[in-house]
Amino acid sequence: MSASPPVQNSATVGLRVLTALAVLTSGLCHGYLYFYDGWGDIDVIGPLFMVNAVSGIVISVLVLAWRHWFSLFLAFGFCVVTAAGFLFSRYGGELAYKLLGVNDMIWGWSQILCLVAEVIGAIAALGAFFAERWLTAARSEHTAVG
């Protein structure tokens, strides 16, 4: 596959911007929770929140600066894994407590904000991937070579 998107228009740019904003929102929210809300003091989950904060910032920049399918893949993966981790910590019961050292039992502004941002980010990343027609380009290259 080529390094630049096969299709680039205002819709694909808008989807990339939406993806980047959603990933950045989740990353900044986790950074806030790490530094100002006490999550940084928890043994296992604290370092994961910092990794999430840094990777959210880096991936949001990549989505805008590197117009490649892999940046969208990273954004999609970030959103899905982060949302799954939260839902596991919320509903995983005893297993979540044993693995993460926490069993999140509240729905505060940060949980809702992050979860909404991650759902929007995953959908927007998938939308950008398909709108930029990466799969069609890959099939075209494969057919041309074969």
Determine the pLDDT at residue 39: 79
What predicted TM-score, i.e. pTM, was given to this entire model?
Answer: 0.83
The mean-pLDDT minimum among 41-45, 96-100, 111-115, 131-135 falls in 96-100
Give per-residue pLDDT as tens, 53-64. Answer: 999 999 999 999
Question: Higher pLDDT residue, 124 or 146?
Answer: 124
Amino acid at 136: T
Residue 28 to residue 31: CA distance in whole angstroms: 5
Indicate the domain borders of the chain. 10-145
The answer, yes or no, to whether residue 139 has pLDDT greater than 60, is no
For residues 106 and 11, give the distance between their C-alpha atoms in angstroms, rounded to a whole number: 37
